Every structure is written in structure tokens, then in C-alpha cells.
Amino acid sequence: MKVKIGSTTLSLVVGDITEADTQAIVNAANSSLMGGLGVDGAIHSKGGPSILEECKEIRKTLYPDGLPTGEAIITSGGNLKAKYVIHTVGPICSGVMTEKEKKLLSNAYRNSLSIAKKYNIKSISFPSISTGAYRCNKKEASKVALNTVINFIKENPDWFEEIRFVLFTEDIYQIYKQSLEEILNVS
Ligand code: AR6
């Protein structure tokens, strides 16, 4: 599914984010920045060891206690097609999302987009942050993700050429598609 908001294309696709050809991809990392399972594991294993080396350096210099939830940092893309990986940390949920968890998830998307803009990045792919190991309700998380991205596009018109959600399964794709249709119908 593709929609145009101003001059930005917002797209939803089913796929593997490590194959994405946008300038940047976003990693659903954890505070340690030392890798993990899920999309984090896939990005590090396909991107190669240089990404982890950069993460270690960032930990040492900027975040000795770990990257706080909702914040984002950037590294190169190593062997990936994407030139950059933006690493962010979503909230850990236990089902239905609290207002605080929604705010932290929104911060993760917003801070990733802000850092992309700072690095002159015009196209970016997101996974569905916090809906795997971090167990946030998928429907609620999709609404937060899409509303945050749409608001950022409206506040920064003409900046991004494409913002893409690369959704790993048909099931999560359908949830995002339905949420996007609902959001567009009421706005
Ligand atoms: N491409 C796109 N999406 C993917 C891929 C992929 N290659 N692999 C998995 N997903 P998760 P979280 C989807 O668990 O919930 C890690 O261990 C997956 O199906 O990767 O934010 C980190 O180190 C789901 O829809 O991230 C953290 O400790 C979505 O990506 C923790 O998990 C997010 O699932 C973060 O948990």
C-alpha cells in the first residue's frame, strides 16, 4: 500500500528490512546496542561486524549506561544496501499499551526521523518496533507508529521522498494497512 502525503510517499510492504534499498533502515535494538534476536540480529548478521564496532564506540563515548528507551543513534550500514542504520529502542510492554509506553514508542520513531534529517537522509525504512520480543499490542503500536510518522511528514513537508514500513509477515502488514486506512479516513 502506498499513499502520498505532500511530496512524501508513505509505503507499507511485506519483506525483510535487511534487503531494503532506502538510504537508511531503522533497527529495533535494545539499550545495550550490542545486538540481539529478531530484526536486530538480522541487521547485525547481514550488515557485518563494523556496525557492532561503531555501536561499541558510541556506547563508550556517548552512552556508557546504554541508549535510553525512545532515543536513537546512527551508524553506517556496513554490508547492507542501506548506507546507514539508525538504532532505536522501543518500550517493553505487557499487552495493552499504557500512555507512557505509547509516548516512548512515538519518541523512538520521531527521534529516528530527526536523526535521519540531520544526516540528509531522504528515504528510510522502519520495522514494526516493539511488536516482537517487546510484546506491545500490534494494533496500538501500528497506530502510534503511523500517526507519529504522518505528523513528522506534516511538520517537515518536502523533506522525505519515502518513508517505508517493511513488515515481516502478512499478518502484521494487514494490521498496519487497516490502521493507515482508519487514520486517513478520519483526517
Ligand atoms: N525485517 C523486518 N522485520 C523483521 C525482521 C526483518 N528481517 N525480523 C523480525 N522482524 P523484534 P522488538 C519483525 O523482536 O519487539 C531484539 O532481540 C518482527 O516480526 O525484532 O522491538 C532486540 O535486541 C516484529 O514484527 O523487536 C531487543 O532486545 C518486529 O520486527 C528486542 O528484540 C519487531 O520484533 C526488541 O524487540
Query: What pTM does this model have?
Result: 0.98
ipTM over 0.90: yes
Ligand 1 center from residue 29 Cα (angstroms): 8
**Which is the closest atom of ligand 1 to the Cα of 17?**
1
pLDDT of residue 89: 98
**Which is the closest atom of ligand 1 to the Cα of 89?**
21
Ligand 1 center from residue 124 Cα (angstroms): 17
Distance CA 56, CA 143 (A): 33
Residue-level pLDDT, tens digit, the chain, 187 residues: 999 999 999 999 999 999 999 999 999 999 999 999 999 999 999 999 999 999 999 999 999 999 999 999 999 999 999 999 999 999 999 978 999 999 999 999 999 999 999 999 999 999 999 999 999 999 999 999 999 999 999 999 999 999 999 999 999 999 999 999 999 987 6
pLDDT of residue 187: 61
Ligand 1, pocket residues at CB < 6 Å = 16-18, 28-30, 36-40, 42, 90, 127-134, 166, 168, 172
Residue nearest to atom 27 of ligand 1 (CA): 30
**Which is the closest atom of ligand 1 to the Cα of 134?**
15
pLDDT of residue 95: 76
For 146-176, b where at least 16 C-beta lie within 10 A, e where not — what string? bbbbbebbeeeeebbeebbbbbbeeebbebb
Ligand 1 center from residue 123 Cα (angstroms): 20
